[in-house]
Amino acid sequence: MTVTEFIVIIPARYGSTRLPGKPLRSLAGRPMIEHVYRRAVASGAVRVLVATDDRRIVAACQAFGAEALMTDPAHATGTDRLAEVVRRERFPDEAIVVNLQGDEPLMPPRLLHQVAEVLDRCPGVAIATLATPLHDPAELASPHVVKVVVAADRRALYFSRAPIPWDREAGSHTPAVLTKAGMYRRHLGIYAYRAAFLRRYQMLSPCELAQHEQLEQLKMLWHGESIQVEDAQEPSGPGVDTEADLLLVERRLSRLSH
């Protein structure tokens, strides 16, 4: 069996409405971006880069030995940052690029390798991602948790912040009842892309679905791209969006270090 080669790019934006300077916030005595970077390195990636919009993040990354690139501050999404890096670094079209968000300090390295492998074995697909069964009623009801529905071949049909699929007969039931059916999938915000797709991504016109749901993967589906989905081989830790998340992740990191 051949080992899939892949590159990890970590988009890290300094500005955040809910948590300004998020990539540089301290976790267990290190900036959050360092934890994310070390997870990426542990995945077996052939190269790991941080793509950022702020020289303070570049300086922090250089201090702990990471490769970091300044990218256009005007980029709307992390995928736009990946596209710029792919273009500047002249990655070959067939290169597999994994997007690891800069606020995922507990992402299991195995999942980075897994999502790259999913894409590697699907030659007709440009994008792969991971999901996990959703059994928590609060998560099903939460617009902060993205849900995904897949076809028989495991290609994504739709992503939404709403509870999907909708059970018409049980529509009046509570989320606690609905989650017992075992039909729901939570989308994990980790992707593998072919470099050729990232080159053309920025040429895709805007999509109202993506704008309404605030989910850029809907733009990809709307333009006819296939997204291969596989269930994650292990649970993913929580990302960091708020001060409360920061405290939760701090506690988990403290337990892991003991």
Q: What is the pLDDT of residues 41-78, one digit of tens each?
A: 999 999 999 999 999 999 999 999 999 999 999 998 99
- How large is the average pLDDT for residues 192-200? 97
Considering the domain boundaries, does residue 253 fall inside one? Answer: no
Determine, yes or no, domain membership for 1: no
Q: Give residue 21's region: left, alpha or beta (phi > 0; psi -120 to 50).
A: left
Task: Give the burial string for 173-192 (b: 16+ CB within 10 Å, else e).
Answer: eebeebbeeeebbbbbbbbb
256 falls within a domain: no
- Report the distance separating Cα 154 and Cα 162, nearest Å: 20
Q: Are 131 and 232 in contact (CB under 8 A)?
A: yes
Residue range(s) defining the domain that contains residue 81: 6-247
Give the range among 78-82, 118-122, 225-229, 253-257 with minimum mean pLDDT: 253-257
Give the pLDDT of residue 181: 53
Chain segment 222-247, per-residue pLDDT in tens: 999 999 999 999 998 888 888 888 89
Give how many domains the chain has, as a whole number: 1
Task: Specify the DSSP element, H or E, that contains 34.
Answer: helix 32-42
Residue 197 lies in a domain: yes
- Give domain status of residue 258, yes or no: no
In a domain, 27, yes or no: yes
Name the residue with higher pLDDT: 195 or 174: 195
| Cβ-proximal residues to 117 (8 Å cutoff; 6+ apart), any chain | 4
- Residue 255 located in a structural domain: no
3-class SS of residue 232 = coil
Share of residues in the chain with pLDDT > 70 (%): 93
3-state SS assignment for residue 236: coil
CATH number for the domain harbouring residue 184:
3.90.550.10
The reply to whether 238 falls in a domain is: yes
Residues with Cβ within 8 Å of residue 256, at least 6 apart in sequence: none
pLDDT of residue 15: 84
Could you tell me the CA-to-CA distances from 28 to 23, 57, 145, 242 in Å, in that order?
14, 18, 26, 17
